[in-house]
Amino acid sequence: MLKKGNKLYSILTGSCPRCHEESMYLDKNPYHMGKIFKMHERCSHCNLKYKIEPSFFYGAMYVSYGVGIAFAVAAFVIANLFLGANLIETFIAIIVTLVVFMPIIMRLSRNIWINMFVKYDPKAKANIKNS
């Protein structure tokens, strides 16, 4: 399932949404907090400019809301339904999950956001001079 050409590949790996050839981020590890939002200016393979317009990635905040809910629901299901935690324990589990996964949630949101605007194009690599 996770092959180049699938949007999920770009979303989960943070690779360039157009050519899927390289990471958009300077540091692939989102837990290096100082660099969490440091991105390359352009893809060196297809020349795609990641920041499509000024403050483009502010829109990712809307996505992170949804992604955060998804993580919270997952934490709820695991803690409450599978582990039988009570309401307070479940609540704590949700908070801890959101805090621990925050860097991943923020990265995922950016990846989803840019993938909503940029389509995979296997030929983009060859067209580098035209873009």
Question: Where along the sequence are the contacts to Zn ion (CB under 5 A)?
Answer: 16, 18-19, 43, 45-46, 48
Nearer to Zn ion, 18 or 110 (CB): 18
**Counts of helices then strands in the chain (DSSP H, E):** 4, 0
Nearer to Zn ion, 23 or 80 (CB): 23
Nearer to Zn ion, 16 or 105 (CB): 16
Rounded Cα–Cα distance for residues 127 and 16 (Å)? 15
Structure tokens at 123: 């030929």
Least separation in angstroms between residue 128's CB and Zn ion is: 9
Least separation in angstroms between residue 50's CB and Zn ion is: 9
Report the candidate in 3, 19, 43, 7 with the shortest Cα–Cα distance to residue 124: 19
Least separation in angstroms between residue 105's CB and Zn ion is: 24
Structure tokens at 75: 């934490």
Side-chain half-sphere exposure of 30, counting CA atoms within 13 A: 16
Rg (C-alpha) for the chain, rounded Å, is 17
Nearer to Zn ion, 20 or 75 (CB): 20
Least separation in angstroms between residue 44's CB and Zn ion is: 8
